[in-house]
Amino acid sequence: MKKRKKPSRIIILIILLIAGAAVYAPRYLLYSTDYQKVDTIVLLLGPDFTARRKQASQLIDEGKADYLIIPAYNKISRISDKVTDKGIVKSLSPNLLMHDPGKKKKILNPSSYPDFYEDTHMEILAAKKTMADFGLKSATFVSSPYHMRRIKLIVSSEFKGEKREFYFVPTVYEKAPANFWELSSVEWKKVGREYTKMIWFTLYSRWAK
């Protein structure tokens, strides 16, 4: 009888571990940091881009950066003060890469990366290239809440060993419950995709460099 109990205990333990992981899964993705004034905000693309852009605009209005980089659009704009009838407001310059079309084409060109690279990875590589070209040393990454842990993973990998200052700010304008019982089926799909992509990046990044 004792020998039969051991497999049952193992199965129960596995079930408990899986259940515990599922309970904590959404909360783990919700990575964020405090933020300070930086050289640039890096705004990452996604289906909820309006909410992400609204968060970036809030940081810009707070005077928390000198530039805005949108890697997916091959775009970098300088942030400056503009005097209006309503007072001084923040203003974005035209895309600085438009002055050098050749450079713009080289920043984010998906065909120059292996097919298995995922979009966020390519965006961060493009942001890294743009920051280097403009001599920018610090950045705040802005995206959706469940996206932030993967961004942190990729940034830590691609900027490893470099003396940079990074902050991670999720948009507050997108719903992203931390408690597992509050998630809808759509939100669970988002969580599942994030973990799948994190595992995929971890696997291919070990032998792709």
Task: Name which of 59, 70, 72 is nearest 94 in CA terms.
Answer: 70
pLDDT score of 104: 52
- Identify the pLDDT of residue 105: 52
pLDDT the model gives residue 175: 94
* 183: DSSP letter: -
Q: CA separation (Å) from 171 to 46, 102, 116, 168?
A: 12, 33, 28, 10
The backbone torsions φ and ψ at residue 64, rounded to the nearest 5 degrees and listed phi first, read -95, 5
The Cβ-side half-sphere exposure at 203, using a 13 Å CA radius, reads 8
Tell me what pLDDT residue 99 has.
Answer: 66
Domain range spanning residue 45?
Answer: 30-208
**Along the chain (209 residues), what's the average pLDDT of each consecutive run of 10 residues?**
62 61 82 97 95 97 96 94 74 83 60 88 95 96 98 96 94 93 93 96 85
pLDDT for residue 90: 87
Q: Residue 5 falls within a domain, yes or no?
A: no
Residue 207: the pLDDT is 79
Q: Would residue 8 count as lying in a domain?
A: no
In a domain, 21, yes or no: no
Name the β-bridge partners of 166: 139
Q: What integer pLDDT is reported at residue 173 of this predicted model?
A: 97
Amino acid identity of residue 131, one-letter, is: M
152: part of which helix (H) or strand (E)?
helix 148-158
184 domain-assigned: yes
Residue 103 within a domain? yes
Instruction: Tell me the pairing of strands 87-92 and 75-84.
Output: antiparallel
Tokens read off for 79: 């942030």
In the chain, the number of structural domains is 1
The answer to whether residue 74 sits within a structural domain is yes
Q: What is the pLDDT of residue 98?
A: 77
User: CA-to-CA distance for 62 and 19, rounded, in angstroms?
Assistant: 41
Which residue has tokens 């881009």?
A: 49
Q: What is the pLDDT of residue 22?
A: 65
Classify residue 13: in a domain, yes or no. no
Residue ranges of E strands in 63-189:
65-70, 75-84, 87-92, 138-143, 165-170
Residue 192 within any structural domain of the chain: yes
